[in-house]
Structure 1
Amino acid sequence: MPEDAAEPLVYINVIEAQGEKIIAMCDEELLGVKLVDGRIALHVSERFYGGQLVPLSYAITKAREATVLNLVGENVVNAAIREGLVHPEAVIRIAGVPHAQAVRMLY
């Protein structure tokens, strides 16, 4: 997969369990960061979010295959909104950083 220097890099981790495809994605600079906002805390852990470091466009292509999405960061959340994978009203901010989860029901 060719790398475009102008395109943001993001981490993507694909977890397949019990017939579900869970995809966790975060902006490159957020991996390992703990976001704290009042009583809400989110650890962007390497164990859950760390996987492959890939161009954003590739990650979004993979995100279309997910039954569950877990996204952290301006780049990944905004791209998911543009692609119709996440509704803008489903986004929360933790310490100013956007976070969204989406579940797609397959019948």
Structure 2
Amino acid sequence: MYAARTTQYQGSLMIDICDLELIGSKLEQDSLAIDLTEAYFKQEVITQEQAGELLKKCAIANLVGDKIVGQALSMKMAKEVSVKRISGVPFLMIFKFQQK
């Protein structure tokens, strides 16, 4: 299960998804900090299947956690070299460039 937030950004779907068990934690390392608040990330709780559908149709994705980042990697949406670790927790940003 994941905590998810969806928004429209400049006419595109932007998603923020994190592993549900990370809600309420704060990741800090060097000059980076991510506060995984329920107010921001937990607009809804979704399944792995729902997350896969959102990953397919979004233009921008911000992903935090072993499970959701692993899912994006297994869907070949990014490569391991693109994953940043903050306090040992995987963080991945995906931007899909689409030509119109």
TM-score, normalised on structure 1?
0.85
- 1:35-62 deviations in whole A, cap 9, x for unaligned? 0112221111334322211111221111
Give the match for residue 80 of structure 2: 88
Question: Cα RMSD over matched residues?
Answer: 1.2
Out of 35, 39, 43, the position equivalent to 2:35 is: 43
Structure 2: unaligned runs, 5 residues or longer? none
Q: Percent identity?
A: 25
Q: CA deviation at 1:97?
A: 0.3
For these two proteins, the number of residue pairs brought into alignment is 99
Which deviates more from structure 2 when the two are superposed, residues 31-40 or residues 42-51? 42-51
Q: Distance in 2 between matches of 1:48 and 1:106?
A: 27
TM-score, normalised on structure 2?
0.91
Give the match for residue 55 of structure 2: 63
Q: CA deviation at 1:10?
A: 0.5
Q: Does 1:20 align with 2:2?
A: no
Q: Distance in 2 between matches of 1:23 and 1:95?
A: 22
Structure 1: unaligned runs, 5 residues or longer? 1-8
Amino acid at match of 1:45: T
Give the match for residue 78 of structure 1: 70
> Residue 77 of structure 2: SS of its match in structure 1?
coil
